[in-house]
Amino acid sequence: MKKTLTLASLAFLILGALAAWAMFRAYQPQPQWLQGQIEARQYQISSKAAGRLVALHVRRGDQVEAGQELYRLDSPELEARFRQAQAGASAADAMRQEADSGARQQQIDAAYQDWQRALAAENLTQTTYERIQALFDEGVLARQKRDEAYAQWQAAQHQASAAEALYQMAQEGARSETKQAAQGQADAAQAQLAEVQAVLSDIQIRAPRAGEISQVLLHQGELVPQGFPVMTLTDLSDAWALFQVREDRLSEFAEGSELMLTVPALGETHPFTVAYTAVQGDFATWRATESGQEFDLRTFEVELRPSEPIEGLRAGMTVLYKAEE
């Protein structure tokens, strides 16, 4: 009987100790875990040109290197515009060369001959006038004849002056304003050609940097509108952890500080550095505090960068931070 009472007392003491331990643990402050998510830089791969997707070289999940060809478009309309721009540039350049070179030698020679004929006609009409003037002075011819001869001489002088001016103009070539206008038209045509050529070169799309193809939206044979993203490239080397943190805990996330974060998918804990903090603009991020407090709390977005490369880290993974008690 005595032994039974001793065992009962011992069991009672053990139960009491367990109950006391349970109550002690229940009143201990529990660690708070903040949950975030891994984000990675994404690039929407598109083209300045519209066309038909004739070659698709990658699939979802493929790893690509910077400069690797991803896909190619076919655009007959753009190629026709390019040939048209080429022809326009050639024509404008020919006009510029003509303005710079001036008249051809044959034109200069023809203008010189016209001037010489006009000079000969001027000399002839002058000699005729002088003869008629002498006869008029002797009273042999009427004044009308003398006046007609004088008028013909003056007209021949003006024709000779005009022919000389045409000859000089042919020698000098086009005016400076004409040359500037021709140069401007040639420059405009070359700029238009360069514009079309730049768009045409964008029908062969290459990876802007190394990464992983995370999404393919269009497939071979489909029409691609201008600027429409055909695929998404994710740069896993440029990844970060993103947390939504209430402002009363921001003191734990001072910019430049290093925190230990757990990545459950990897079963590992790694150091991350607080890189950026920004308030969220949505009014729904306001949270009411406990009763009796006079202010509400806002939610901030905190970005943390891995302090060192993490093997196997991927966008979308959960990341945890054990907050201070």
Cβ-contact 215, 60 below 8 angstroms: yes
Residue 18 lies in a domain: no
Q: Which of 175, 198, 221 represents a domain boundary (last residue)?
A: 198
Say yes or no: 86 and 138 in one domain: yes
User: Is residue 261 a part of any domain in this protein?
Assistant: yes
Judge if 191 and 134 occupy the same domain.
yes
Q: Is residue 169 domain-shared with residue 272, that is, in the same domain?
A: no
Q: Are residues 253 and 311 in the same domain?
A: yes
Shared-domain flag, residues 91 and 133: yes
Residue 4 counted as domain residue: no
Query: What is the pLDDT, as a whole number, of residue 163?
Result: 76
Residue 149: its H or E element: helix 143-172
In a domain, 188, yes or no: yes
Three-class SS state of 172: helix
pLDDT of 123: 85
pLDDT score of 117: 81
- 71 neighbors 218 (Cβ within 8 angstroms): no
| pLDDT in the model for residue 105 | 63
Q: Enter the pTM of the model.
A: 0.60
- For residues 288 and 277, the answer to whether their CB atoms sit within 8 Å is no
Question: Which residue's structure tokens are 């100790």?
Answer: 17
| 88 and 187 co-located in one domain | yes
Same domain membership, residue 317 and residue 253: yes
Q: Residue 291: its pLDDT value, please?
A: 46
| Any domain includes 314 | yes
* Contacts for 172 with CB less than 8 Å, ≥ 6 apart: 102
What's the token pair of residue 286? 């306001």
Residue type, 197: Q
Split into its structural domains, the chain has a count of 2
Is residue 208 in a domain?
Answer: no
Are 144 and 246 members of one domain? no
Q: Is residue 273 part of a domain?
A: yes
- Tell me which residue range forms the domain holding 125: 81-198
Tens digit of each residue's pLDDT, the chain (325 residues): 555 656 666 666 777 667 666 665 655 555 688 999 999 999 999 998 889 999 999 999 999 999 999 999 998 888 888 888 888 888 777 777 766 555 566 666 777 777 788 788 778 788 887 887 877 777 777 778 777 778 888 888 888 887 777 767 666 655 566 667 777 777 788 888 888 888 888 888 999 999 999 999 999 999 999 889 999 999 999 999 999 988 888 888 999 999 999 999 999 999 999 999 988 765 545 455 554 455 577 889 999 999 999 999 999 999 999 886 6
Does 301 fall in a domain?
Answer: yes
Asked if residue 107 and residue 174 are part of one domain, the reply reads yes
Asked if 67 and 207 touch (Cβ cutoff 8 Å), the reply is yes
